Amino acid sequence: MSTSVNAFGHEFSLLDIYPVAGNIGAEVRGVRLSPDLDDALFAQIEAALITYKVLFFRQQQHLTDETHQAFGARFGKIVPHPTVPAPGSSKLFELDASKGGGRADSWHTDVTFVDAFPKISILRGVTIPAYGGDTVWANTAAAYEQLPEALKRFAESLRAVHSNDYDYGADRTVTEAHRLEHHQKVFVSSVWEAEHPLVHVHPVSGERALLLGHFFKRLVGFSSKESAKIFELLQNRITRLENTVRWQWQQDDVAIWDNRTTQHYAVNDYGNQPRLVRRVTVEGERAVAVDGSRSRTLVSPVEQAQKVA
């Protein structure tokens, strides 16, 4: 195993790292993920995550729902999904293709409809289809860096409203009735809205990244039509193929990503094959704009209940 040093000056002497794409993503080999990983090894995994944005680990069949969550707790406090019930007594978020809400086939950053959205997500392949069902990640920090200077300054001046009550069928050519029903009855069983800076500063690396994705609702101070045009311009920058990595899942794979500098998309090309993945999400903090202002909650079930009371 050779020692490598990344762009942030981190040394990865304990990790066997293989980049998967040019701007995002790396496979880490020879590591058995567990809650009791050596502190030095875990620190290098954290540093590699900042560098590569998403890390892939094969053959993690030893992980259970319990140890998956316990490993996630090494990164911080585990938080359940705000609206989707967790299986059993866990805090896991389950995506089961046999159920209505199991196909996350649109570009998004996890749970940006709350002000302090998760900082890290850890996804485990429980049942993987024989073909299809890949996941694609995009680097939102690279997308920002590639903008012309004038467009960077413009983007930095914007704030965006995100909501879980978004137009579910807007970017889908076919929307199955049972998936739409699940979205309406479960995913938006309670409505959340948050206002974020469109460009936010990563709390660890200091990188600036675009904060968009399918929970985007509108830009503050712009009409819905104007918001849609600006969104399309910047979102297309994020999902340029050069900014992405595509992972072909195998049984018991684990993917860990920095939710603050990525979007992802689950490719819905596996028909009626079973596909079951479970996710642990780690509590984040309110996003910070270039000018130091932070994200804020606009609508939450807690506030709505307090007003009614």
Of 68, 81, 103, 110, the active-site residue reads 110
Strand, coil or helix: 247: strand
Amino acid identity at 287: A
Q: Which residues of the chain have pLDDT under 50?
A: 2-3, 5, 168-169, 172-173, 177-180, 182-187, 305-306, 308-309
2: in domain: no
Task: Give me the pLDDT at residue 167, please.
Answer: 58
Q: Name, in order, each residue with C-beta under 8 angstroms of 172's C-beta and a sequence gap of 6 or more.
A: 105, 106
224: in domain: yes
Q: Which tens digits make up the pLDDT trace of 188-198?
A: 668 999 999 99
Verify whether residue 110 is a known catalytic residue: yes
Verify whether residue 264 is a known catalytic residue: yes
CA distances from 307 to 120, 296, 302, 303 (A): 32, 18, 9, 6
Task: Give me the pLDDT at residue 186, please.
Answer: 47
241: in domain: yes
Task: Give me the pLDDT at residue 176, please.
Answer: 58
Task: Give me the pLDDT at residue 6, please.
Answer: 52
Strand, coil or helix: 242: helix
Amino acid identity at 223: S
Verify whether residue 279 is a known catalytic residue: yes
5: in domain: no
**234 close to 105: Cβ distance less than 8 angstroms:** no
4: in domain: no
Which CATH number characterizes residue 236's domain? 3.60.130.10
3: in domain: no
Task: Give me the pLDDT at residue 302, please.
Answer: 62
Task: Give me the pLDDT at residue 90, please.
Answer: 87
Q: Between vectors from CA 161 to CA 265 and to CA 90, what angle results, nearest 5°?
A: 55
When divided into structural domains, the chain yields a total of 1
Of 68, 108, 202, 275, the active-site residue reads 108
Verify whether residue 81 is a known catalytic residue: no
Of 202, 214, 264, 278, the active-site residue reads 264
Of 81, 179, 208, 279, the active-site residue reads 279
279: in domain: yes
- Cα–Cα distance between 189 and 84 in angstroms, integer? 9
247: in domain: yes
How many CB atoms sit inside 10 A of residue 223's CB? 10
Structural domain of residue 119, as residue ranges?
A: 16-308
Task: Give me the pLDDT at residue 182, please.
Answer: 45
